[in-house]
Structure 1
Amino acid sequence: MITLTVTAKGQVTLRKDFLDHLGVHPGDRITVDKLPDGRIEVRAARPEGEISDAFDFLKRENGPSLSAEEMNEIAAKGWAGRR
C-alpha cells in the first residue's frame, strides 16, 4: 500500500506508476467515485460514443459531404493558423 500526502490546497498527486496503470497521460481525464466507508474509486475517463457519431461532422449544412481535397485544404489552413 502506498501513502500519498495531501497538500495545503487539498490536492493529491498520483504517482507515475498509478497513472501508467490507469493508462492516462498529461491532459487526459480521470473519474473519481465516492464509495462507502470513506473509500474512492479512480478510473481513466474514456470517451463514450461511436466512431459513426463523427461522420456528420464532415457534412455541409445544406449539401454533400466535404471531398478529401476540401478537408485537406481546411486542415492545411488550420495548421497555418488561418481559419
Structure 2
Amino acid sequence: MPIVTKKYQVTIPKDVREALGIKAGDEVVFVREGNRYVLMKLTDLLKELSEVTMDIEDTIEEVKRGLSRGIERSLRELEGRE
C-alpha cells in the first residue's frame, strides 16, 4: 500500500506502472471523474482528447448539413406559397 510522504509524494506500485505503461520520465495527469481521480499518462489523455475532438468535428459537420437542408426546404416551401 503506497503511503503519501511529507512532501505529498507517492510511489506508483510496479503492477500499476506496468498496467498503465508508465516509465521513468513519463508525464502523468490526474483526471477527475465524478468524485474520484484517475491516473493517466499524458500521452494517453491527449490521444483520447484528439479522438473526442474528431467526433465533435464530425458532429458539427452533420449539424451544418442538416441546417442547410432545413433552410433549403423552408425556402422552397416559402416560394411555393407565393
Give the TM-score normalised by the residue count of structure 2. 0.46
Structure with more of its chain in helix, by fraction: 2
